[in-house]
């Protein structure tokens, strides 16, 4: 009997690596996918171009992610949370205010249950935690740095060739290479994209006063300005401006840059100082017309990309991971071919609705809050005030922000596969 | 993989194309692909329970000898082999067997495929721990004889897993009018409603051949998900679990 799915480390024999799932891209989403599969008895190989040390360095990615409660639950299930808990700060409240208007939206997690909406964690600490967890996962092999010079997908299997001449055979390829996914492009899957004339400035700040676990999102004329609570008296700043104004802001000296932040944030936090490099990301949304092809599943930004306004990009990707892992293990239990049409159809069916909903909500938020025409402004001020007064509507938004609604994958509900 | 060796090499291309059709989840066999997870889920559950196997294992059927009668392109045989069983698949159609062989070889799954009828294999005295025959009974001319052969092929103490269509007004509307004429899931003439068997009739054939029908489960189609689900409603598609009692000493 061919050991097509034995509980073994990926086998290397004569430079041939045989595995169940070949994950291309070892970023946050690719590694999370590998770990979600490890421990189910399935084998995975991750190929990543960069060295792990490069990816976990401060200079590579100084961004902070908001992990929804569901995403944190998944990390708990796959054993990575223990490695990042010390770096995670809970979000107890969310306050949304509109450009100095008196009405504002206030979300308190105590209204939906006795747990935070989510957590902020610096990306490099998530990466470190994933690498630490991976070191203990026997069924996963990380090839980094590694480069696939060729990847063939046919009706009968996937065969990748590494630059060093080794070959990897698998039942399924997973594209987790991010926004410019070569696997997606190679499959001829078009991606519908929107660009906004806005750019997000991303950095972290320290402040005199405490943040009280409150995430604050101010909708200013140029776009949203958000401060998310981190460990200690620090916050992550996601500051959206018209793209043409961004280079000048990035070029300001420290004192002037801090003054600009203070101007917008007000004095709730006391004195604010930027304490990290400044990064900038043009805002855009994109959605692949399909998430699947012959023996290929796209996850994370390779399938859909969104700007950081709603803080849902990574969480959306983590829900892809959880759904794909669940579809694959369910299929493996039934002896189905993991790269066959039926598991892939189920994955796409499961994920497309959620992704489209989130993309549309995020797009709506940008359009609604980046418009200073008086009636629109009035509508949104009233809208926010109204939502605030209508308990059920508010709780719905809160639950969605915390990814509690809908047909959630088991890992997101904190259940084992 | 004995059969593949005896086949004219010029034919292999054609079988590979046929394999591609059998195994294209959106191709002509799409209805069977949709049905497959549910049939496998039921089979796995029943086999694990009957033989006291570990449901948590990815290869729980390791050590079981399983026969798939009317295996077609191997849609069930391959998954059973991946679940660990040593599988023999038989089909009266030589082309089906060549197709199934081509696919299993390409995917590295080991199944012993043979072109033969159940009655002939039974006559050889072969017996298995489990005999599976799904979506086949409704295409056989002599149901009583066919089921007698399936029971003979099951060792005492072994299991039979069957799937077929019920003969009800509902199945006429859904399986004949709906699936063949309206939705065009199946070519017109795929099924003859007169050949559908009610669970009680199936139970009678089994009993006469020395097996006991133990459980029936319906299968229900969920249009929104495009998936099937186990159900109590056995008016159209249903699965049956039967055992051949152990011989008493």
- Does a structural domain hold residue A279? no
CA nearest to B40 within chain A: A334
Mean pLDDT of A210-235: 88
What's the domain range around A311? Answer: 11-88+115-192+286-372
Residues in chain B within 8 Å Cβ distance of A4: 82, 107-109
Kindly determine whether residue B25 and residue A345, on different chains, have CB atoms separated by under 8 Å: yes
- Confidence (pLDDT) at A8: 47
Quick: pLDDT tens for B155-177: 999 999 999 999 888 888 878 77
- Does a structural domain hold residue A407? no
Choice among A69-83, A108-122, A143-157, B59-73 with the minimum mean pLDDT? A108-122
CATH, residue A42: 3.50.50.60
Mean pLDDT of A268-293: 89
- Confidence (pLDDT) at B10: 65
In SS3 terms, chain A reads as CCCCCCCCCCEEECCEEECCEEEECCCHHHHHHHHHHCCCCCCEEEECCCCHHHHCCCCCCCCEEEEEHHHHHHHHHCCCHHHHHHHCEEECEEEEEECCCCCEEEEEHHHCCCCCCEEEEEHHHHHHHHHHHHHCCCCEEEECCCCEEEEEEECCEEEEEECCCCEEEECEEEECCCCCCHHHHHCCCCEEEEEEEEEEEEEEEEECCCCCCEEEEEEECCEEEEEEECCCCEEEEEEEEEHHHHHHHHHCCHHHHHHHHHHHHCCCCCCEEECCCCEEEEEEEEEECCCEECCEEECHHHCEECCHHHCCHHHHHHHHHHHHHHHHHHHHHCCCCCCCHHHHHHHHHHHHHHHHHHHHHHHHHHHHHCCCCHHHHHHHHHHHHHHHHCHHHHHHHHHHHCCCCCCCCCCCCCCCC
Distance CA B34, CA B37 (A): 7
Sorted by sequence, the CB contacts under 8 Å of residue A406 that are 6+ apart come out as A354
- Does a structural domain hold residue A35? yes
- Confidence (pLDDT) at B8: 57
Question: In terms of DSSP H, where are the helices of B89-233?
Answer: 94-107, 118-123, 143-153, 169-171, 199-208
Kindly determine whether residue B58 and residue A337, on different chains, have CB atoms separated by under 8 Å: no
A232 has a pLDDT exceeding 70: yes
Choice among A117-126, A205-214, A295-304, A381-390 with the minimum mean pLDDT? A381-390
- Does a structural domain hold residue A6? no
- Does a structural domain hold residue A17? yes
A4 has a pLDDT exceeding 50: no
Count of structural domains within chain A: 1
Q: Which residue has the higher pLDDT, B1 or A185?
A: A185
Quick: pLDDT tens for B64-90: 999 999 999 999 999 999 999 999 999
Q: How confident is the model at residue A328 (pLDDT cuts 50, 70, 90)?
A: very high
Whether chain A has a CB inside 8 Å of the CB on B15: the answer is no
Q: Which residue segments constitute the domains of chain B, with CATH numbers given?
A: 2-243 (3.40.50.150)
Mean pLDDT of A198-205: 90
Mean pLDDT, chain A, as a whole number?
84
- Confidence (pLDDT) at B83: 98
How is residue B85 annotated by DSSP? Answer: -
Whether chain B has a CB inside 8 Å of the CB on A332: the answer is yes
- Confidence (pLDDT) at A390: 53
- Does a structural domain hold residue A106? no
| Residue of B33, B44, B225 lying closest to A342 (CB–CB) | B33
Whether chain A has a CB inside 8 Å of the CB on B227: the answer is yes
Mutation site for B-interface testing, chosen from A333, A341, A348 by largest number of B Cβ within 10 Å: A333
Quick: pLDDT tens for A348-357: 988 887 777 7
ipTM value: 0.88
A341 has a pLDDT exceeding 70: yes
- What pTM, to 2 d.p., does this model score? 0.87
Residues in chain A within 8 Å Cβ distance of B36: 334, 336, 342
A82 has a pLDDT exceeding 50: yes
Whether chain B has a CB inside 8 Å of the CB on A1: the answer is yes
Residues in chain B within 8 Å Cβ distance of A331: 37
User: What percentage of chain B carries pLDDT values higher than 70?
Assistant: 92
| Residue of A335, A340, A345 lying closest to B83 (CB–CB) | A335
Mean pLDDT of A27-36: 96
CA distance between the termini of chain A: 26
Whether chain A has a CB inside 8 Å of the CB on B20: the answer is yes
Whether chain A has a CB inside 8 Å of the CB on B105: the answer is no
- Confidence (pLDDT) at B112: 98
- Confidence (pLDDT) at B27: 85
- Confidence (pLDDT) at A396: 59
Q: Which residue has the higher pLDDT, A286 or B67?
A: B67
Q: Give the gap in angstroms from C-alpha B199 to the nearest C-alpha of chain A.
A: 25
Number of Cβ within 10 Å of residue A375's Cβ equals 8
- Confidence (pLDDT) at B176: 79
B40 has a pLDDT exceeding 60: yes
Kindly determine whether residue B44 and residue A342, on different chains, have CB atoms separated by under 8 Å: no
- Does a structural domain hold residue A306? yes
């Amino acid at each position: 009997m061919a050991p097509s799915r034995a509980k073994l480390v990926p086998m290397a024999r004569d430079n041939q690596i045989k595995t169940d799932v070949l994950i291309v891209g070892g970023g946050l989403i690719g590694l999370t996918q590998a770990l979600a599969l490890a421990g189910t008895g399935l084998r995975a190989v991750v190929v990543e171009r960069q060295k792990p040390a490069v990816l976990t360095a401060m200079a590579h990615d100084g961004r902070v992610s908001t992990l929804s409660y569901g995403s944190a639950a998944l990390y708990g299930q796959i054993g990575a949370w223990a490695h990042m808990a010390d770096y995670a700060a809970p979000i107890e409240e969310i306050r949304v205010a509109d450009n100095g208007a008196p009405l504002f939206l206030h979300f308190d997690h105590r209204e939906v249950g006795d747990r935070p909406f989510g957590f902020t964690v610096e990306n490099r600490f998530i990466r470190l935690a994933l690498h630490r967890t991976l070191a203990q996962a026997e069924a996963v092999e990380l090839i980094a740095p590694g480069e696939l010079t060729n990847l063939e997908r046919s009706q009968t299997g996937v065969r990748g060739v590494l630059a060093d001449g080794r070959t990897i055979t698998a039942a399924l390829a997973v594209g987790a290479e991010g926004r410019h996914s070569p696997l997606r492009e190679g499959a001829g899957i078009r991606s519908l994209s929107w660009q906004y004339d806005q750019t997000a400035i991303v950095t972290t700040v320290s402040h005199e006063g405490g943040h009280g676990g409150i995430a604050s999102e101010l909708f200013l004329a140029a776009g949203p300005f958000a401060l998310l609570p981190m460990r200690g008296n620090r916050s992550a700043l996601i500051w959206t401006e018209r793209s043409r104004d961004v280079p000048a802001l990035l070029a300001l000296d420290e004192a002037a840059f801090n003054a600009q932040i203070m101007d917008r944030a007000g004095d709730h936090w006391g004195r604010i100082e930027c304490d990290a490099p400044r990064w900038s990301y043009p805002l855009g949304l994109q959605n692949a017309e399909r998430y699947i092809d012959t023996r290929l599943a796209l996850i994370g930004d390779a399938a859909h990309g969104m700007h950081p306004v709603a803080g849902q990009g990574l969480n959306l990707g983590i829900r892809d991971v959880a759904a794909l892992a669940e579809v694959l293990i369910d299929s493996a239990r039934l002896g189905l071919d993991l790269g066959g049409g039926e598991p892939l159809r189920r994955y796409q069916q499961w994920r497309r609705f959620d992704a489209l909903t989130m993309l549309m909500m995020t797009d709506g938020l940008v359009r609604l809050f980046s418009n200073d025409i008086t009636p629109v402004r009035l509508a949104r001020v009233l809208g926010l005030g109204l939502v605030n007064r209508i308990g059920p509507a508010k709780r719905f938004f809160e639950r969605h922000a915390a990814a509690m609604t809908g047909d959630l994958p088991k890992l997101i509900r904190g259940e084992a596969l | 993989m004995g059969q593949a060796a005896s086949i004219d090499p010029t034919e292999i291309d054609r079988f590979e194309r046929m394999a591609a059709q059998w195994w294209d989840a959106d191709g002509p066999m799409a209805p069977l692909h949709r049905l497959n997870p549910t049939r496998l889920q039921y089979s796995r559950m029943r086999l694990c329970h009957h033989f006291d196997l570990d449901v948590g294992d990815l290869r729980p059927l390791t050590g079981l000898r399983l026969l798939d009668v009317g295996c077609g392109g191997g849609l069930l045989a391959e998954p059973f082999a991946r679940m660990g069983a040593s599988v023999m698949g038989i089909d009266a159609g030589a082309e089906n067997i060549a197709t199934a062989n081509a696919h299993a070889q390409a995917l590295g799954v080991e199944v012993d495929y043979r072109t033969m009828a159940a009655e002939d294999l039974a006559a050889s005295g072969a017996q298995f721990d489990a005999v599976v025959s799904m979506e086949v009974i409704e295409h056989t001319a002599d149901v009583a004889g066919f089921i007698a052969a399936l029971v003979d092929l099951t060792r005492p103490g072994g299991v039979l897993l069957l799937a077929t269509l019920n003969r009800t007004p509902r199945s006429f509307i859904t399986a004949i009018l709906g699936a063949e004429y309206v939705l065009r899931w199946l070519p017109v003439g795929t099924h003859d409603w007169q050949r559908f068997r009610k669970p009680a009739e199936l139970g009678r054939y089994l009993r006469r051949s020395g097996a006991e029908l133990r459980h029936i489960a319906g299968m229900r189609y969920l249009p929104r998900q495009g998936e099937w689900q186990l159900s109590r409603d056995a008016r159209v598609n249903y699965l049956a679990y039967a055992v051949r009692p152990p011989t008493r000493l």
